[in-house]
């Protein structure tokens, strides 16, 4: 379509130049108070701010998180979000990023050290959630943790294919 990034249908074609992909435009987004707040932090470029805004909306509306706030990290040039997945849980840090931004391992560790909330009671390892935003507004969330985190053990009954499991049981009980 003519104006990438616009979600409102029936937008009248205006005389202004098309906005670069990944930037907010159109009616309701540009005047959203949260977006203007993020922009006013003035720490990151517009694509990262737009990504942060999309993640903010997704966390609140799509994932039903609680107490989501935005934080500007000047030295990293990023807008981060903090929120709780459930009401009683600890705050987690979410780092939104557009997909074309490239990171080095060193930068990822820097982000972990600077963006993470120090959990002073426990010495749990530094951890952030990286929220990667595609140009079509798809967001994928991946967790980065310092150190070695073992994968979840397989849950036996869930993983077994029901049909195979029934066959095995029949053979066993015969």
Partner 1 sequence: MIQIHVLEGAALVWSAEDAREIRERFRLVGTLVGALTRKPRQNARLGLPLQLLPEEARLLAELGAAVLVRRTETQPPAEGEELTQASLVEAYQRELEESYQEQQRLAGAERGALLAQLAERIAQGRARRREQRGEMPDTVEDSGLLDSPFVLPRGSMMVQLPTARWRPGRVEQVDWTSPSADWPHAGRPAHEARYRVFRELWGRGYYLSGGSKFGGDFLVYPGDPLRFHAHYIALCCPPEAPLPLHALVAATRLGTSVKKTLLLCSPGAGGALAFTSLQWSGLQ
**Other beta carbons less than 10 A from residue 72's beta carbon:** 18
66 in contact with partner 1 (CB under 8 A): no
Q: Which is nearer to partner 1, 12 or 153 (CB)?
A: 153
162 in contact with partner 1 (CB under 8 A): no
| Token pair 């949260």: residue | 34
The whole-angstrom separation of Cα 153 and Cα 134 is 31
The whole-angstrom separation of Cα 38 and Cα 28 is 15
- Considering only CA atoms, which of 23, 38, 35, 145 is closest in space to residue 93? 145
- Contacts with partner 1 by CB under 8 A: the residue count is 30
Q: Which is nearer to partner 1, 102 or 172 (CB)?
A: 102
- Closest CB 11 distance from partner 1, rounded Å: 30
Q: Which is nearer to partner 1, 11 or 141 (CB)?
A: 141
The whole-angstrom separation of Cα 133 and Cα 56 is 11
Interface ranges with partner 1 (CB under 8 A): 63, 85, 97, 99-106, 108-109, 112, 129, 132, 140-152, 154
């Amino acid at each position: 379509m003519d104006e990438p990034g616009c979600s409102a249908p029936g937008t009248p074609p205006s005389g202004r130049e098309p906005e670069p992909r990944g930037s907010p435009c159109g009616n309701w987004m540009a005047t959203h108070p949260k977006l203007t707040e993020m922009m006013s932090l003035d720490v990151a470029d517009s694509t990262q701010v737009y990504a942060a805004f999309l993640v903010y909306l997704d966390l609140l509306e799509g994932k039903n998180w609680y107490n989501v706030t935005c934080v500007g990290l000047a030295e990293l040039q990023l807008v981060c979000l903090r929120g709780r997945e459930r009401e009683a849980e600890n705050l987690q840090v979410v780092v939104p990023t557009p997909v074309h931004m490239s990171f080095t391992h060193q930068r990822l560790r820097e982000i972990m050290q600077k963006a993470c909330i120090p959990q002073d009671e426990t010495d749990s390892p530094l951890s952030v959630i990286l929220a990667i935003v595609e140009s079509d507004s798809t967001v994928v969330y991946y967790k980065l943790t310092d150190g070695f985190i073992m994968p979840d053990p397989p849950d036996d009954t869930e993983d077994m294919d029901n049909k195979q499991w029934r066959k095995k049981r029949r053979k066993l009980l015969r």
